[in-house]
């Protein structure tokens, strides 16, 4: 990305330790920033990729998801195991557990943390590589694994658990797998994949105890290992009182700007989307992957012009031997329509708005439907007339 004028900054601080933070460092160097880059990461690991945590790492096909980028070689000063605890935009200071760091430019990329249910029993979450290693070691034949949540993470964990020969129960509050994201009609199509799993829908959890999971009807579901995958919350606690606008994420514009000299990118951001006319809180890999180039450009640009970050949201999940892909974003009133292909390989749903414009596609084992949807969603006024 070539900028006419690159603002000269002495030090840019990147708070975060995941893909968004790593890519931000790379983008800053690529775009000509030759001052300091300081990476402040809470975890004691070099930045790593997260999708393998619920996929390859649980199946044993991936043992190290560290991102293959030489940050030290790029001249990034790396502080691992250093959680940020506060921000003072007036003084341009980030406070960490190890002291204060001043900045000229700031990238906030602290991601999101999983929601934890109440209870004193052991409750595994799946956010860090350490979490994945612990969970992988529990997936042994015959182990009683209880997974709370039948959405994407839940489905992928269940897949690994049944492959490992565990006895798996999955507790889902909604009417079916991924129903909260995709709706009941789509969930119904996922259901056959779950045969062989004790899947209990419409089941609300009260708390996690030592012996297992206590349901709201006071039944106890015994478990050797409980894992919760019911959603994440943006990691913005450290920004309380900073003056930044926080609303289920750091609120940023379409160029990922939160305030002068401050950008936010990835899971932590609530970004304005001109395309969807609302703030989006995307917790998918793609935002962390391609957002940083725009975040860096916004920090380094002189003046008020620069690239906008407003991609069509994309997501995928590998579960039960199937590839699920999800492109776009349905409006709250849009209804999914089922598409059964003539060649009988896979199936899809398409969502349309009131003007019959395509707004989202969910494709199972059919990348061609995603490719077709991209062409329609990319055009200015896509119209797809249902036949």
Partner 1 sequence: MRYLVDQALCCGHGQCAALAPEVYGLDDDGYNKEVGHLADVEPGLEEAARTGAMACPDAAIRLFE
Interface with partner 1 by CB under 8 A: which residues?
A: 1-2, 23, 51, 68, 285-286, 289-290, 293, 311-312, 314, 316, 323, 325, 366-371, 374, 378
Largest CA distance in the chain: 65
Query: Whole-number minimum distance, CB 319 to partner 1, in Å?
Result: 14
Stretch (H or E) spanning 290: helix 285-300
What's the closest the beta carbon of residue 29 comes to partner 1, in angstroms? 13
Output 230 or 370, the one with its CB closest to partner 1.
Answer: 370
68 or 192: CB nearest partner 1? 68
Shortest reach from residue 18's CB to partner 1, in Å: 14
d(CA 145, CA 148) in angstroms, rounded, equals: 10
For partner 1, give the closer residue by CB, 311 or 382: 311
- 247, two tokens: 């609303």
- If the CB atoms of residues 180 and 325 are measured against partner 1, the closer one turns out to be 325
Residue-wise DSSP of 154-175: HHHHHHHHHHTT-EEEEE-SSS
CB of 214 to partner 1, least distance (A): 37
Give the nearest distance from C-beta 368 to partner 1 in angstroms: 4
Residue 59 to residue 53: CA distance in whole angstroms: 10
Which of 19, 197, 265, 223 has its CA nearest to residue 119? 223
Q: Which is nearer to partner 1, 50 or 236 (CB)?
A: 50
- Residue 55, beta-bridge partner list: none
The SS3 assignment for 139 reads coil
Strand 112-114 versus strand 225-228 pairing type:
unpaired
Q: How far is it, in rounded angstroms, from Cα 340 to Cα 317?
A: 20
Q: Which residues pair with 142 in a beta bridge?
A: none
Closer by beta carbon to partner 1, 122 or else 318: 318
Q: For partner 1, which is the closer residue by CB, 51 or 119?
A: 51
Of 334 and 369, which CB lies nearer to partner 1 in the complex structure?
Answer: 369
Q: Are 11 and 259 in contact (CB under 8 A)?
A: no
Least distance CB 341 / partner 1 (angstroms) = 12
- To partner 1, the closest distance from the beta carbon of 360 in angstroms equals 15
Specify the residue, 208 or 360, whose C-beta has the smaller distance to partner 1: 360
Smallest distance, Å, CB 184 to partner 1? 27
Question: Containing H/E element for 24?
Answer: helix 19-30
**At a CB cut-off of 8 Å and minimum separation 6, what does 61 contact?**
none
Q: How far is the CB of 298 from partner 1 (least distance, A)?
A: 16
Euclidean distance between CA atoms 105 and 82, whole angstroms = 19
Q: What angle do CA 91, 94, 98 make, to 5 degrees?
A: 130
DSSP state of 152: H
């Amino acid at each position: 990305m070539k900028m006419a004028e690159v603002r000269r900054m002495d030090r840019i601080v990147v708070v975060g330790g995941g893909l968004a933070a790593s890519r931000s460092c790379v983008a800053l160097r690529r775009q000509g920033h030759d001052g300091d880059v300081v990476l402040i990461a809470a975890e004691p690991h070099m930045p790593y990729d997260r999708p393998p945590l619920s996929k390859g790492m649980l199946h044993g096909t991936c043992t190290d998801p560290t991102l293959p980028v030489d940050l030290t070689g790029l001249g990034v000063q790396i502080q691992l195991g250093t959680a940020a605890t506060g921000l003072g935009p007036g003084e341009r200071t980030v406070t960490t557990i190890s002291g204060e760091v001043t900045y000229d430019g700031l990238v906030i990329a602290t991601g999101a943390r999983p929601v934890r249910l109440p209870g004193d029993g052991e409750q595994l979450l799946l956010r860090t590589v350490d979490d994945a290693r612990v969970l992988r070691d529990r997936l042994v034949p015959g182990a009683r694994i209880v997974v709370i949540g039948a959405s994407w993470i839940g489905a992928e964990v269940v897949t690994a658990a049944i492959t490992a020969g565990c006895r798996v129960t999955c507790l889902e509050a909604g009417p079916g797998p991924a129903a909260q994201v995709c709706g009941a009609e789509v969930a119904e199509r996922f259901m056959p994949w779950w045969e062989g799993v004790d899947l209990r829908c419409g089941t609300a959890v009260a708390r996690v105890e030592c012996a297992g999971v206590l349901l709201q009807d006071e039944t106890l579901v015994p478990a050797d290992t409980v894992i919760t995958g019911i959603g994440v919350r943006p990691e913005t606690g450290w920004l309380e009182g900073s003056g930044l606008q926080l609303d289920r994420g750091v609120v940023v514009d379409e160029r990922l700007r939160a305030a002068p000299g401050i950008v936010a990118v990835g899971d932590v951001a609530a970004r304005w989307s001109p395309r969807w006319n609302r703030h989006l809180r995307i917790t998918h890999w793609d935002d962390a992957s391609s957002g940083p180039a725009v975040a860096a450009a916004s920090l380094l640009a002189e003046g008020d012009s620069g690239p906008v970050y407003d991609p069509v949201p994309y997501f995928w999940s590998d579960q039960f031997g199937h590839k699920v892909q999800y492109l776009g974003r349905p409006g709250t009133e849009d209804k999914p329509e089922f598409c059964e292909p003539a060649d009988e390989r896979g199936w899809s749903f398409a969502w349309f708005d009131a003007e019959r414009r395509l707004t989202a596609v969910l494709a199972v084992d059919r990348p061609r439907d995603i490719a077709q949807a991209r062409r329609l969603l990319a055009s200015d006024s896509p119209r797809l007339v249902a036949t």
